[in-house]
């Protein structure tokens, strides 16, 4: 009997010693490129995000699967390319009976099945820190999160997976007084905590824009809202520490898509796809070999990879066929050679664009009707003051160089850029006769063809007119139609 009691005691102790799965927190930036101090960006004040990088691993080559929120989020919430699940068009399937393909499930549902509490946090102790944004191109998959209450994270005995979606950087289109004026406010523009580190006088906008007061002002406004984002990140870190959760919680900081600028969001350049990612490992957990404080990872990564990585952190096997790759732990996948991205219809504007990026080059393929920045998108015409400025300067004949090329009548069929020597993607090498460029073009062209085939890209199937037609009057109601397009 003594031996039996001893055995039972040992079994009970072993069970009790089973480690609790880690807490996991996603801090998701809205529309952000690498515009933070830890990435070397000037004219910003981001001490909290910089501290995350100093205490974690900073990734330098991370790319979203789409240059706009809903398709990108629809992809990384299930770990599958949006072009494979029919969620590639902007804000589609909101009013029909669409369901995700068999076997494709929300990350939060997989985590909940494994015993996690899932949360999409909007406030901490009455202070707004997140938007609660979902913006998924599917609405019939059931409840996405268990709660939006921060206190639930501390009161539950379950491990948690929480997402906090940053309010910045975004135009405040829901402020009707704002968007009815000539200049639409940025979210947080009136916040007294908004740093004013960037000014029209000290910023240097990209050379594909003209050096003009409007351009400088808009660039400074963007950078300052990025600094305000850092204030919210600081508040989150403060509360984690206060609740004694900081050193038991794995933090992933990343963005859904690239920068909120005229040639950024919506377009498959680095400015629209290149995003930050920092992973901070807590002190109370043994770290994986891939993470060390203050280190930099230069591998090619897709934002899609946060899905399989999160599942692995929670001890959940990756489902067969999932496109996402695991970045961490003993079962980490080999680094990617390429990151693939796609853009399809956004609001009322149709464009089919596919792109592939390696460590040095970006290849872009534009499909008919070869839509580019000069095409009409009412949201961008209203909010992005640079676009009507470009039209005005072109009309009076004072637009020259790369800004003039930006307003060409149509996009080229193919684009190839050497990011190492041409970080602003100005010189298209697709027609270059240099052997190195011809070889690179053929290699990336083939890689993209293979990806389109292997992932069963659905972009060649047009949406029915009954789906696309309502977007034009809806966008007109919100933002109006410029006189030149009427």
What is the DSSP track for 169-202? S-B-TT-HHHHTSSSPPBTTTT-TT------TTT
Q: Burial level of 455, CB count in 10 A (0-12/13-18/19+)?
A: middle
What angle (nearest 5°) sits at the alpha carbon of residue 224, between those of residues 221 and 229? 125
Q: How far is CA 141 from the centre of its chain?
A: 22
User: What average pLDDT does range 348-377 have in this prediction?
Assistant: 97
Beta-bridge mates of residue 254: 28, 277
Q: Is residue 2 part of a domain?
A: no
SS3 for 105? coil
* Position 6 in a domain: no
pTM of the predicted model as reported, rounded to 2 decimal places: 0.95
Confirm if 342 and 459 have CB atoms less than 8 A apart: yes
**10 is a domain residue:** no
Maximum separation of any 2 CA atoms in the chain, in Å? 98
Is 28 inside any structural domain? yes
Question: In Å, how far are 79, 362, 429, 441, 443 from 436, measured between CA atoms?
Answer: 34, 14, 10, 9, 11
Please say whether the beta carbons of 419 and 386 come within 8 A: no
Q: Which residue from 409, 23, 375, 389 is spatially nearest to 183, judged by alpha carbons?
A: 389
Average pLDDT of 122-141?
A: 96
- The strand pairing partners of 118, in sequence order, are 161
Q: Which domain covers residue 190, as residue numbers?
A: 22-485
Q: Tell the burial category of 442 from Cβ atoms under 10 Å away from its Cβ (0-12, 13-18, 19+).
A: exposed
Rounded to whole angstroms, how far apart are CA atoms 39 and 230? 14
Q: Are 28 and 306 in contact (CB under 8 A)?
A: no
CA 276 – CA 258 distance, rounded (Å): 9
Total count of residues recorded for the chain: 486
Where does the pLDDT of residue 173 fall: very low under 50, low under 70, confident under 90, or very high at 90 and above?
confident
Dihedral sign, CA of 102, 319, 60, 195?
Answer: positive
Residues 184, 382: contact at Cβ < 8 Å? yes
Compute the half-sphere exposure of residue 178: CA atoms within 13 Å on the CB side of its CA.
Answer: 14
Site of tokens 């230069």: 298
The total number of structural domains that make up the chain: 1
Say if 12 falls within a structural domain. Answer: no
Instruction: Note the pLDDT of residue 292.
Output: 96
Identify the pLDDT of residue 11.
Answer: 54
Higher-confidence position of 221 and 175: 221
Q: What is the pLDDT of residue 9?
A: 52
Q: What is the pLDDT of residues 310-356, one digit of tens each?
A: 999 999 999 999 999 999 999 999 999 999 999 999 999 999 999 99
**pLDDT at position 3, please?**
54
d(CA 80, CA 94): 19
Is pLDDT above 50 for 14? no
Summarised one tens digit per residue, pLDDT across range 83-98 is 999 999 999 999 999 9
Among all chains, which residue has been given the structure tokens 């390429």? 338
**What's the rounded Cα separation, in Å, for the pair 303 and 273?**
10
Residue 465 lies in a domain: yes
Residue 161 belongs to domain with CATH number: 3.40.720.10
Lowest mean pLDDT among 7-16, 37-46, 227-236, 464-473: 7-16
7, part of any domain: no
Q: Name the DSSP letter for residue 336.
A: B
pLDDT of residue 8: 52
On whether residue 413 sits in a domain, the answer given is yes
């Amino acid at each position: 009997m003594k031996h039996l009691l001893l055995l039972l005691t040992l079994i009970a102790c072993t069970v009790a010693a089973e480690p609790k799965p880690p807490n996991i927190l996603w801090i998701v930036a809205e529309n952000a490129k690498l515009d933070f101090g830890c990435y070397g960006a000037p004219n910003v004040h981001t001490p909290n995000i910089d501290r995350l990088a100093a205490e974690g691993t900073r990734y330098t080559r991370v790319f979203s699967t789409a240059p706009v929120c809903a398709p990108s989020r629809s992809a990384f919430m299930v770990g599958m390319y949006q072009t494979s699940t029919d969620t590639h068009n902007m804000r589609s399937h909101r009013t029909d009976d669409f369901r995700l393909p068999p076997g494709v499930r929300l990350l939060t549902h997989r985590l909940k099945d494994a015993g996690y509490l899932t949360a999409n946090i909007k406030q901490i102790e009455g202070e707004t820190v997140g938007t609660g944004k979902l913006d998924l191109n599917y609405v019939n998959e059931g409840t996405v999160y268990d709660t939006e209450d921060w206190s639930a994270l501390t009161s539950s005995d379950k491990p948690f997976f929480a997402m906090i979606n940053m309010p910045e950087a975004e135009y405040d289109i829901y402020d009707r007084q704002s968007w009815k004026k000539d200049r639409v406010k940025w979210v947080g523009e009136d916040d007294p905590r908004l740093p004013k580190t960037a000014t029209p006088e000290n910023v240097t906008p990209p050379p594909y824009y003209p050096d003009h007061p409007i351009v400088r002002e808009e660039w400074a406004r963007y950078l300052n809202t990025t600094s305000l984002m850092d204030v919210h990140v600081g508040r989150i870190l403060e509360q984690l520490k206060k609740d004694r959760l900081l050193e038991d919680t794995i933090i992933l900081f990343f963005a859904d898509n690239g920068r909120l600028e005229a040639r950024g969001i919506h377009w498959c350049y680095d400015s629209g796809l290149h995003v930050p990612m920092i992973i901070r490992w807590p002190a109370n957990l043994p770290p994986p070999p891939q993470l060390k404080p203050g280190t930099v990872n230069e591998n090619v990564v897709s934002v899609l990879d946060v899905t399989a990585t999160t599942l692995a952190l929670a001890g959940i096997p990756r489902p067969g066929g999932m496109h996402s790759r695991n970045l961490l732990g003993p079962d980490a996948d080999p680094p990617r050679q390429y990151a693939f991205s796609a853009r399809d219809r956004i609001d009322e504007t149709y464009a089919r664009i596919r792109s592939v990026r390696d460590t040095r080059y970006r290849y872009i393929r534009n499909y008919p009707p070869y839509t580019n920045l000069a095409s009409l998108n009412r949201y961008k015409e209203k909010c992005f003051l640079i676009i009507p400025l470009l039209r005005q300067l072109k009309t009076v004949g004072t637009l020259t160089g790369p800004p003039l090329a930006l307003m060409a009548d149509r996009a080229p069929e193919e684009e190839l850029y050497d990011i190492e020597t041409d970080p602003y993607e100005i010189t298209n090498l697709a027609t270059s006769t240099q052997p190195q460029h011809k070889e690179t073009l053929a290699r990336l062209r083939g890689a993209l063809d293979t990806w389109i085939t292997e992932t069963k890209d659905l972009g060649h199937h047009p949406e029915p007119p009954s789906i696309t037609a309502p977007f034009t009057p809806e966008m007109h109601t919100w933002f109006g139609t410029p006189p030149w397009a009427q």
